[in-house]
Structure 1
Amino acid sequence: MTTETTTAPVPPRLMTPPGVYEPQHDTRLLADALRREGIRPGADVLDVGTGSGALALEAARLGASVTAVDISWRAVLTARFNAWCSRQRVEVRHGDLTGAVRDRSFDLVISNPPYVPSPGRWPPRGAARAWDAGQDGRALLDRVCAEAPEVLRPTGALLLVHSGLCGVEDTLTRLKGAGLSAEVTDRTSIPFGPVLRSRLTWLRGRGLSAADLREELVVIRASKE
């Protein structure tokens, strides 16, 4: 079942310094899906690409034992600070996607990776690392689809959010190819933000810009069940 979601706010007062992704519509959409999972106390949850730690903190509030990973040291320190301020226990590790936790397995993996299509031919620098993901927006998505199943327990699940601009069917196909059952569970439509508006000419040239300048966000749930 796919839900057209009206999102509840992620709890406020998280520090998000320059270069760390500030919780936005996609964060809230994934938080809604996370709350519906019925996380049992002590369940092991992994947040891949944690940024400010917003989703990791939400999982901790639900009673999970949470590990969060980010490749940015600034994000790691930010997530640790936000966990301390929120009085939530979250283990925050520095690493590249699941590389920092290959020795472990989890009941639930959540991820809001960078997914914005970018005209640049080189890896993003500075603040853009938090959202730019190559010309098709899949530089990180494809890796999450490949790596997440390797750290899931036999009854584990993955919750992944990204833009419809990146190819929803491609994500479903990759996850199913990795042996998971995958479906879109949540959808919402939002106006183009400043980054996408600044790339309208390029997006139109690639056939990625809708006439109404709105972006669809989706949550995909994949499981081993």
Structure 2
Amino acid sequence: MRSDTPAAAPQLLPDLVEALRGDLSRARYTVERTEQLLGEVAVAALHREDPLPARRALAGASDPAAILFSLFTLGAELPAARVAEVLPTLGTGGAQQLGILAPAAGRAAAGGAPSLLHATIDLSPYSAQDDHGHIDWWIASDRSELATGAALRPDHVLGVGGASLTLARITPRARVGRVLDLGCGSGIQALHATRHATHVIATDLSERALAFTAFNAALNRAQVEVRQGSLLDPVAGETFDLIVSNPPFVITPRTPGDDTDRFTYRDGGRAGDSLLAELLEALPAHLAPGGTAVMLGNWERSGSQEWDQHPRRWLARAQAEGLDCWVIQRESEDPAQYAGTWARDGGITPRDPQWPCLIDGWLDDFESRDVRDIGFGYVLMRRPLPAAPTDAVAAGGSGPTPGAPAPAPAGGPAGTMRIEQATGTGSGSLGGHLAAGLRMMQRLRAMDDAQLARTRPRRAADLIERRHLVPGAWDPSLIELVQGAGLARTIPADQVLAATVGALDGTLTLGQTIGAVCALTGDDPDQVEKRLMPQLRELLLTGMLEL
């Protein structure tokens, strides 16, 4: 059953927020410390959304971090005196003013003071590593089912989940001016952006989500501007160097007159996957030259369509306007799997009486469009930098005004559209890898094969060659080029391609290297170069070769 308890949002009272920060720091309330206290078994159980081992591990613990984790994440009701010990600066009164603690129902001591307190929000430590170093933060959000034992409310504000972590990993971290976190939720993407941006704007349809984002920014001493509104409405006419978004893309069945509660954080209220189509059509106008958009999404495949038909159609206009577009499908689910995934996400299981009706509604909706499966993955766009600086910049002018509308297309060349399925993940920074791929699209588009042959590529340090041989044979039956970083791709190669790649150390030009290999194999260099160029361009785009 869904909880009827009114949803709370923390109050932005700067002095009290700073007092809370000091108490959390003194308590060593970090991911590292809480995992030490919990132990491997309890940590693994929490990842499975089972709180019992964690509650057992922390039962009776006196460590301040253990008490805070029990209170704010595990949903414990604790004596007011014990809570006061771990929040000595803020105090229990200050915590109640902030709206993060409340008296447990019916648990008042003599004189009316609460004998037991419970948290009204989740307040968890967060740890990460990005291109700018180590991060230790605290993230406030709504309490999870793990703490409440109840299904989520429609206006639930998520903490840091798997999708949030994925989006943070694939986002480029180069220093930029203006960043937009579209559909910010509790604000984790906006917080990450403050480490490498001059100005960060976070938008959301939910006023409660923006309250959590503002609170988290203050708690972690970050500067974030929050604006309320649907999709891109709050930033009409503005452009950004980076747009990052985990939009409410979940495909949820709706019928005329249906006023069923939707989860604001995930359901866009559109038919099928049309919300993503609408967003991708509008995004290009908000990208400054050199600007990048990075987002998560899903798309339907109906009937005999190829899986990429919808994203190709959505991005066709952006490509025609000169933007480089990249879609990566990471996985797919059939309609029944998809319905079950998101029903469970909302706290409904097959044991609940509403399960059959809920799943039937989803399956009927997918059947009405002949949907065979739903893909999940990443969508990236980049507006290329101008080929040459403007006269104003060349003469020492200031160039475009930050945040001004993007220039209208001038009839230039179309951008590159790259569509791929990639399920692996290698080492290193995935955000940096994807950003390098987008930049390489522009570089390669500007070079014909003759120009490319005059460059001096190098094979990437993480690239290895794998050979498969029938036992006792001298010649391999299969050669593969294997990427250790990025998306851990594997590309088949013949002897000539493998030899060419193996010799690319930046000393000779690409044309010279192909000529040297052909001198050994007896092949015609011109024919080999013509045959290898598409493959070598692919290796450059994937980062297996570097320029």
TM-score by length of 2: 0.35
Asked whether the equivalents of residues 117 and 165 of structure 1 are also in contact (C-alpha less than 8 Å), the reply is: no
Q: Which has the higher helix share?
A: 2
Unmatched tracts of structure 1, length 5 or more: 1-7
Q: 1:219 aligns with which of 378, 382, 389?
A: 378
Deviations 1:118-153 (A, max 9, x none): 122358765612212334133x32231122111111
Asked whether the equivalents of residues 26 and 217 of structure 1 are also in contact (C-alpha less than 8 Å), the reply is: no
Q: 1:15 aligns with which of 140, 159, 167?
A: 140
Asked whether the equivalents of residues 188 and 217 of structure 1 are also in contact (C-alpha less than 8 Å), the reply is: yes
Q: Write the mapping of 1:197-216 to structure 2, written as runs, cut at 5 A.
A: 198=355, 199-205=358-364, 206=366
Aligned counterparts of 1:76 and 1:94: Cα–Cα separation in 2:
7
Q: Which has the higher strand share?
A: 1
Aligned counterparts of 1:76 and 1:53: Cα–Cα separation in 2:
8
Aligned counterparts of 1:127 and 1:16: Cα–Cα separation in 2:
18
Task: Give, as a single letter, the amino acid of the residue that structure 1 aligns with 2:177.
Answer: A
The question of 1:184 aligning with 2:327 is answered: yes
* Structure possessing the higher radius of gyration over alpha carbons: 2
Task: Give, as a single letter, the amino acid of the residue that structure 2 aligns with 1:147.
Answer: A
Task: Give, as a single letter, the amino acid of the residue that structure 1 aligns with 2:243.
Answer: V
Deviation at 1:79, TM superposition (A): 0.8
The question of 1:162 aligning with 2:303 is answered: no
Deviation at 1:110, TM superposition (A): 1.1
Task: Give, as a single letter, the amino acid of the residue that structure 1 aligns with 2:380.
Answer: R
Deviations 1:81-103 (A, max 9, x none): 11111111111111222222224
Is the partner of 1:97 in helix, strand or coil? coil
Question: For the structure 1 residues 189 and 62, does the alpha-carbon distance in structure 2 shift closer, same or farther, using more than 3 Å as the test?
Answer: farther
Using the aligned pairs only, state the percent identity. 26
Asked whether the equivalents of residues 39 and 64 of structure 1 are also in contact (C-alpha less than 8 Å), the reply is: no
Deviation at 1:62, TM superposition (A): 3.4
Q: Which residue does 2:40 correspond to in 1? A: none
Q: 2:272 aligns with which of 126, 136, 139?
A: 136
Aligned counterparts of 1:141 and 1:220: Cα–Cα separation in 2:
10
The question of 1:102 aligning with 2:239 is answered: no
Deviation at 1:15, TM superposition (A): 1.7
Is the partner of 2:194 in helix, strand or coil? helix
Task: Give, as a single letter, the amino acid of the residue that structure 2 aligns with 1:44.
Answer: R
Deviation at 1:38, TM superposition (A): 3.5
Asked whether the equivalents of residues 172 and 182 of structure 1 are also in contact (C-alpha less than 8 Å), the reply is: no
Using CA pairs under 8 Å that are at least 6 residues apart, name the structure with larger relative contact order, 1 or 2. 1
Superposition CA RMSD, Å: 3.1
Q: Which residue does 1:4 correspond to in 2? A: none
Asked whether the equivalents of residues 181 and 243 of structure 2 are also in contact (C-alpha less than 8 Å), the reply is: yes
Moved more, 165-174 or 127-136: 165-174
Aligned counterparts of 2:328 and 2:198: Cα–Cα separation in 1:
22
Question: For the structure 1 residues 92 and 123, does the alpha-carbon distance in structure 2 shift closer, same or farther, using more than 3 Å as the test?
Answer: farther
Unmatched tracts of structure 2, length 5 or more: 1-125, 129-135, 143-152, 302-306, 350-354, 385-547
Aligned counterparts of 1:186 and 1:216: Cα–Cα separation in 2:
6
Q: Which residue does 2:170 correspond to in 1? A: 33
Aligned counterparts of 2:308 and 2:192: Cα–Cα separation in 1:
25
Task: Give, as a single letter, the amino acid of the residue that structure 2 aligns with 1:221.
Answer: L
Query: How many residue pairs get matched?
Result: 210
Is the partner of 2:140 in helix, strand or coil? coil
